[in-house]
Structures are given as structure tokens and as C-alpha cells.
Amino acid sequence: MPRRILEGEVVSDKMDKTVTVLVERRTMHPVYKKIIRLSAKYAAHDEANSFKIGDRVQIQECRPISKRKSWTVITKPGPNAGRPVREKAAEVAAPVKEKKAKAAAPAAAEAKKEAPKKAAKKTTSKKKDA
């Protein structure tokens, strides 16, 4: 079974080789159907004491290290962390979008050229009638 990975913010680093990570998630209330925020704090193992308060980190489930600590800090997330599937999908979709844009560009350009001509013909016909 794969290990869970959560993303949160370090709220305490006072302990040795341990940080406290606050993980927030959004869920819908079962009765009122309103989106609410739920939060949980996890004690995570930080071997090098390298993470400080305010850092956004990813934690991974691991074997129990102590009574309360069964998570390990794995990394600081980058700008697109938590979205590897979307990144790959965007890379695959980019050439397709470019092809569609190239195909649509001449058609749009022709439509723009034709629209002023039609408008011009209508205005000239009105002038002749008057």
C-alpha cells in the first residue's frame, strides 16, 4: 500500500529532530453542504533540523518513530508541488493546443478580414439608397 503524502506548514521547530506540521484540508459539510476547512497537526521527523517555522513542507507516512511521531519530512515543495499529474498533462497537451491554435489562427484571421468587408458593403448600400 502506498504511503500517504501531505503538505502543510511548519508551526513549531522547538523539539530536537522533530517539527510540528499543520495540514489544512477543505471538505463539504454533510448536512449544510458548505465548504469548511479542517486542520490537523502532525509531529514529523526532521533529521537535520533544517526546517523552520513558516516553511511549506511535504510529509510522508512512515513507521512509528516515537509515541506521537509517525511522519517524516521529505522535502520543501517547489512552485508546482502537489501537481505532478497536471504538469505531465500540461506538457502533453501543449503541442495539441499549439496545433489547434495554429489551425484556428488562419480561420480567425479570414473571419476578421471578411467582417469589415461585409460591414463596408452594407454601409455603401445604405448610402446609395439615401
Number of domains in the chain: 1
In this predicted structure, the answer to whether residue 48 has a pLDDT above a threshold of 60 is yes
Kindly state whether residue 65 falls inside one of the protein's structural domains.
yes
Cell of 85: 499529474
Question: Does some domain include residue 109?
Answer: no
Q: Is residue 62 part of a domain?
A: yes
| Sequence-distant (≥ 6) Cβ neighbours of residue 37 within 8 angstroms | 24, 25, 26
Separation CA 27–CA 84 (nearest Å):
22
In a domain, 58, yes or no: yes
Angle, alpha carbons 30-31-33 (nearest 5°): 70
Number of residues that make up the chain: 130
Flag whether 115 is in a domain. Answer: no
Whether residue 101 is contained in a domain is answered as no
φ and ψ of 7, to 5 deg: -120, 135
Domain membership of residue 106 (yes or no) is: no
Greatest alpha-carbon span in the chain: 93
Q: Is residue 64 part of a domain?
A: yes
Average pLDDT over residues 92-107: 62
Average pLDDT over residues 46-54: 94
Range of the domain at 43: 5-75
**pTM for the whole structure:** 0.57
Q: What is the CATH number of the domain that holds 60?
A: 2.40.50.140
Where b means 16+ CB within 10 Å and e means fewer, 11-36 reads eebeeeebbbbebeeeeeeeeeeeee
Give pLDDT, residue 85: 41
Percent of the chain with pLDDT over 90: 55
CA gap 20, 90 in Å, rounded: 34
